[in-house]
Structure 1
Amino acid sequence: MVGHKVGLTSVAMQEQFGIDQPDSGLLLDSMAVNEGGELHLGDLVAPRVEGELAFRLGSDLSGADVSEEAIRGAVASTFLALEVIDSRYGFEGLTLVDSVADNAACGRFVLGAPVAGLVPELGKEQLACTVNGAAAASGYGRAILGDPIRSVAWLVRQLAAFGTGLRAGDVVLAGAVHASLPLRAGQTVVVGSPRLPQAVLHVA
């Protein structure tokens, strides 16, 4: 396990799947795709892709009363990310229970190069996603529960209910800023923003 993802944090994603609350899943090392690496569609069922903001933690976080200030202080680096969501149930008629049972639909993820520390005012950061060089989707960091730090706070509080928390070194995918996009062989998907290095995924 290398971290966690928080899903269904934006209105766009909640409306796309008809689910009105976030959920979370685990990130495994086998899900990681090297930046600029290839994703083989034959390994997945119904893959779709999202542009996201992500963090790596420099210290542990736990507790039902964790503060956003504590989370800001725990962030060691900030990334752009592409998450490939997938569901063994398919996405038509997906319910919250289905999503939770399927690890919050996490299939693969790719991280861009890190920026040290917490990039300030991420709510104002505009992420733009292209597919084969053509604009495909965009959104601001504030689409993630108003501020992506709140997504991490939500996760820590959820984990506290199970007597656990986040660990130093964990990656946290905070959530998508736009509705997910279908993936097809031959595509190159890129997410970029003004202050963060882009994340790139090639689809084979």
Structure 2
Amino acid sequence: MPSTKSVVLSCAGIGSRLGLGQTKALIDINGKPLIHWQLDLFQNVEDLRIVVGYEANSIISAVLEKRRDVVFIYNHNYFNTQTGASFYLGSRDANEYVIEWDGDLLVHPEDVKMCLQHPSEYVAYAERSSDEAVFVRTNRHGDVVMFSRENGDYEWTGPACLRRDKVRYTSGTVFNQIEEYLPMKGLKVRAMDIDTYDDYKRAIDFVRTW
């Protein structure tokens, strides 16, 4: 069944920490670019929005190899903004609920389905795996009550789902947009966020378990 939520895939950033000389959306994961893995996971999403900036033409070309019904949005200020700006730009005129998804994120297919089918807002988190993690703290119900750069119960890899009318502009990160709405429902997922070269190597092993 197609998902009625909009998905905003943020692929505008440079990805300089990874050190592979190209945008993360195009890095090779077991023989195909990361963006193709994500498009396969989102094949039942009718309203898929991809925010581009750095190497935009290359990303668009790679996406069009897989599907042609994607909405592309440009973040022209990608060098000076983070994922919060891209999520805001991609959410305009979207469906009632919008799922934010980073372009460097891989989530287990079963958990992607759970995220797409969840009926309301949430913040997803995972066991810590990346080198430069943002953490979440949770209550006894598993709801997210705080983000932290220092420590927490789990790693916040994304994704997150908000009502479209709550997505406000920030030049910072998505969790800056979400903080004012905490506590929020938490969903635990199996995920891999790719920020560093070691994260990249772990992502290659991660997809082999699917």
On whether the aligned pair clears a TM of 0.5, the verdict is no
Q: Which has the higher strand share?
A: 1
- Bin the TM-score by the shorter chain: under 0.3
Q: Which has the higher contact order (CA 8 A, sep 6+)?
A: 1
Q: Which has the higher helix share?
A: 2
